[in-house]
Chains A and B, each alone.
Chain A
Amino acid sequence: DAGITQSPRHKVTETGTPVTLRCHQTENHRYMYWYRQDPGHGLRLIHYSYGVKDTDKGEVSDGYSVSRSKTEDFLLTLESATSSQTSVYFCAIRDTPENSPLHFGNGTRLTVT
């Protein structure tokens, strides 16, 4: 299994509070991704990174920011959590060759009350 660790695995927070989710990889892969999974929507890309300090937006980036200061860590921050951000968040990594598959972490279940 790809070495991907997401933390925390579960979090409950209140509306308006900041939240940071962490993804840590031990594979030295260049590409890292944050997806959210919601019923009926499959997985939707929030942000991704193609190198240290290099990031780009996905299709549902509003309300989220990311940072990647080291190859192994990719942080997702909700500056002011809202109930619509209640979801399961998955981190994924990908090796450099084109068409390489994504490898996923086990997810973080976030509940915003």
Chain B
Amino acid sequence: GNSVTQMEGPVTLSEEAFLTINCTYTATGYPSLFWYVQYPGEGLQLLLKATKADDKGSNKGFEATYRKETTSFHLEKGSVQVSDSAVYFCALSSPSGGYNKLIFGAGTRLAVHP
């Protein structure tokens, strides 16, 4: 079946450090890939997405590239801020099931300190 694996957290960084959160997936066919972010006490918000191989999603300084050859969708940011502290979820939706079932990784907590 389809699945998503994320690196375990928490990830603790100093402000302005480089961020990478690893995400790999298992899926049949050609899934769409997403990164969501959850701030304390809130629901998840879409951060970025990519729908086909070699697509790069980007938003708010975050980027992720859909790598079919390595089945990965790693999240990166060149310079993190304290306000980026949150939980980040990698997710996929697959053509099998009509894109109805979004499957999430376990989440990676990021803590950025001044």
Q: A-side interface residues toward B, CB under 8 Å?
A: 4, 31, 33, 40-45, 48, 50, 56, 58-59, 90, 92, 98-99, 101-107
**Chain A residue at minimal CB-CB distance from B34:** A101
Residue in A33, A45, A56, A104 whose beta carbon sits within 8 Å of that of B45 in the complex: A104
Identify whether the interface residues of B are mostly helix, strand, loop, or mixed: loop
Least CB distance, B12 to chain A, in whole angstroms: 18
Minimum Cβ distance to chain A for residue B85 (Å): 17
Which chain B residue lies CB-closest to A102? B102
Q: Which residues on B are within 8 Å of A, measured CB to CB?
A: 4, 32, 34, 41-46, 49, 51, 89, 93, 95, 98-107
Instruction: Give the CA-CA distance A101 to B103 in the complex, in Å.
Output: 12
Contact A42 B43 (CB under 8 A): no
Expressed in whole angstroms, the Cα–Cα distance for A104 and B45 within the complex equals 7
**Closest-CB distance, B108 to chain A (whole angstroms):** 10
Residue pair B41, A106 in contact (C-beta under 8 Å)? yes
Q: Could you list 20 A-B pairs, sorted by A, with CB under 8 Å?
A: A31-B100, A33-B102, A42-B106, A43-B89, A45-B102, A48-B101, A56-B100, A59-B101, A90-B44, A92-B102, A98-B95, A99-B93, A99-B99, A101-B34, A101-B49, A102-B44, A103-B46, A105-B43, A106-B41, A107-B42
Given contacts A56-B100, A58-B101, A99-B51, contact A42 B46 (CB under 8 A): no
Q: A42-B89, A99-B51, A107-B43 are in contact. Are A48 and B100 (CB under 8 A)?
A: yes
